[in-house]
A and B are shown apart, each in its own frame.
Chain A
């Protein structure tokens, strides 16, 4: 394949982060958490963002999700540059292009599974008349059609995370960001949730980024990015690169022990 053909084949990134710097505090208390991160997320890819505690993973995730502003650098989501957007415009961008899955699920305890998903649609404003049917379909897709009227307190951890995924997907976001989605789950539920995330990423209009410490889920990754001390140290695609695959298998084996 020629370079030209490869360039033509490479899809346009849905998210581009260029030289992102984040500084917390001022003066003597100033801490630079991100020190110039370059990153792009491609449609159809499940990317795992890994790194030790304090390396800046969550801060980067918050910036990529437009809920925290970078100190310096440029961020573009679905073709929209975020640098000069107001807080409400950022909320609008989140609403229309970003889906979140949280470590602690962050479901609304007073709403049923179906209502939790509907709420994510409701904040978007006007919706098709068949929104309830779409919500049911979303829950059906994550295997919870039999639990639509169940409150979060009566759902297992895995089920809660599935509701959270259905909620994130309900608005059909371009970019889906997950913060340790398997951290609170047992192995079986963790695998199942990651299979679901992988399926979701295979929609070529969507990019999925998961922050994780969980080595058990490495096999689902199309791409693994390691961040250390505020900078990206490695960026590999194990399914395309034999060396990267070997690295991934070594990491997975270490994690298993």
Chain B
């Protein structure tokens, strides 16, 4: 009678007294997952691979976005006057000229600065040449000022022949530091300032200099630039000013900075092979991750089928069993993500001083975490289908 007295009353007692939820489902899920180390290893490899690939694709995407929009993001003007048909900020051509004064006459406009951009031939000091993207602006009047200057100074660029180059492109430009000479479109220049991590999506290095010098290098007239950067008065109606300028400049396009930014990014990402490759790579990463995780979760579920049938026989609801499988997927996602993200950050650190601009932000890391979890949950569907079809009567034949 020992058994009776000690055990009885479970169901009755369950109906009364303080209650709490036991947490056996997570424990079972965790133990099932970590019980078979080989299976777990394969699952984690799949997830880590996906996380790294996804991080790379999205990191490169963010990097590209920032690289494409770098010049735009450093300017203050709310509106940009651009030549008609301009696809991207780094695909410049020249405006007809004298836009500055036309725009200045529009009510609500506070300031207009000309930005001169164009491709030029950089002749290296020890022979050879490469194409560069010259950017000229009058930063003292509110134009684009070179940023991330790590050696020399922007003020030095006012001296004759001076240009700023980025350290990332030293090798391409055959430059080792301040004072190194070169020729741009036949004009002798010297390195007067060095910037850091101002990368170009087109891989053609940005060369910063004064507006006047850039106009000479690019063969533009004195009043001619590639873009006119328009700053508005604080109380100005952006849309109205934009409309008015557009009406007065029928041979140019007037865009908000945001719309020009989007146009530039969309052009490179969705109208060139570079973007298609990136999107295809991201899709591939997700598909590979789902397939590998689905296969291993399915195999793990099959290995534990007898246990799931026993659970069913014990009266576990389908929801309880699905919970166990989803928890397995969740644990796989968390561990796989942690390993994958650690590896990713290590690789990103190594890529820091290369021309490859990969970016990881807390927001992107969070999004990737959510994606990894969603991927693993989706991968669990096949295992769930297998388990909810279990015939609990099978427990008597095993």
User: A67, A109, A122: which contacts B24 (Cβ < 8 A)?
Assistant: A122
Contact at A96–B20, with CB atoms within 8 Å?
no
* Most chain A CB inside 10 Å of its own CB: which residue of B2, B22, B311, B312: B22
Per-position 1/0 for B197-211, Cβ under 8 A of A: 000000000000000
Stretch in A46-54, A112-120, A243-251 touching the partner: A112-120
User: A95, A169, A202: which contacts B315 (Cβ < 8 A)?
Assistant: A95
Per-position 1/0 for A119-159, Cβ under 8 A of B: 11111111111110010011011100000000000000000
User: Is residue B176 contacting chain A, with contact meaning CB distance below 8 A?
Assistant: no
Give bound CA distance, A89 to B168, whole Å.
Answer: 68
Give bound CA distance, A124 to B13, whole Å.
Answer: 12
Contact at B10–A172, with CB atoms within 8 Å?
yes
Q: Which residues of A contact B85 (CB under 8 A)?
A: none
Give bound CA distance, A127 to B2, whole Å.
Answer: 23
User: Is residue A92 contacting chain B, with contact meaning CB distance below 8 A?
Assistant: yes
User: In terms of DSSP, what is the predominant structure of the interface of chain B?
Assistant: helix
User: Is residue B14 contacting chain A, with contact meaning CB distance below 8 A?
Assistant: yes
* Most chain B CB inside 10 Å of its own CB: which residue of A61, A100, A108: A108
Give bound CA distance, A171 to B18, whole Å.
Answer: 17
Contact at B19–A126, with CB atoms within 8 Å?
yes
Q: Which residues of B contact A71 (CB under 8 A)?
A: none
Q: Which residue of B lies closest to A92 (CB)?
A: B315
Contact at B17–A131, with CB atoms within 8 Å?
no
- Scan residues 54-110 of chain A and give those whose CB is less than 8 A from a CB of chain B: 58, 61-62, 65, 67-68, 87-88, 91-96, 98, 100, 102-104, 106, 108-110
Contact at B3–A91, with CB atoms within 8 Å?
no
Q: Which residue of B lies closest to A108 (CB)?
A: B307
Give bound CA distance, A200 to B8, whole Å.
Answer: 9
User: B7, B12, B306, B391: which contacts A169 (Cβ < 8 A)?
Assistant: B7
Contact at A128–B13, with CB atoms within 8 Å?
yes
Per-position 1/0 for B1-41, Cβ under 8 A of A: 11111111111111011111111110110011001000000
User: A94, A122, A169: which contacts B25 (Cβ < 8 A)?
Assistant: A122
Contact at B396–A141, with CB atoms within 8 Å?
no
User: Is residue B318 contacting chain A, with contact meaning CB distance below 8 A?
Assistant: yes
Contact at B14–A127, with CB atoms within 8 Å?
yes
**Chain A interfacial residues counted at CB < 8 A:** 60
- Scan residues 178-231 of chain A and give those whose CB is less than 8 A from a CB of chain B: 179, 196, 199-200, 202-203, 205
User: Is residue B314 contacting chain A, with contact meaning CB distance below 8 A?
Assistant: yes
Q: Which residue of B lies closest to A93 (CB)?
A: B315
User: Is residue A252 contacting chain B, with contact meaning CB distance below 8 A?
Assistant: no
Q: Which residues of B contact A118 (CB under 8 A)?
A: 22, 24
User: Is residue B398 contacting chain A, with contact meaning CB distance below 8 A?
Assistant: yes
Given A128-B19, A129-B18, also A179-B396 (CB < 8 A) = yes
Q: Which residue of B lies closest to A62 (CB)?
A: B393
Contact at B24–A91, with CB atoms within 8 Å?
no
Q: Which residues of B contact A14 (CB under 8 A)?
A: none
Please report A residues at the B interface, Cβ cutoff 8 Å.
58, 61-62, 65, 67-68, 87-88, 91-96, 98, 100, 102-104, 106, 108-111, 115, 118-131, 134, 137-138, 140-142, 165-167, 169-173, 179, 196, 199-200, 202-203, 205
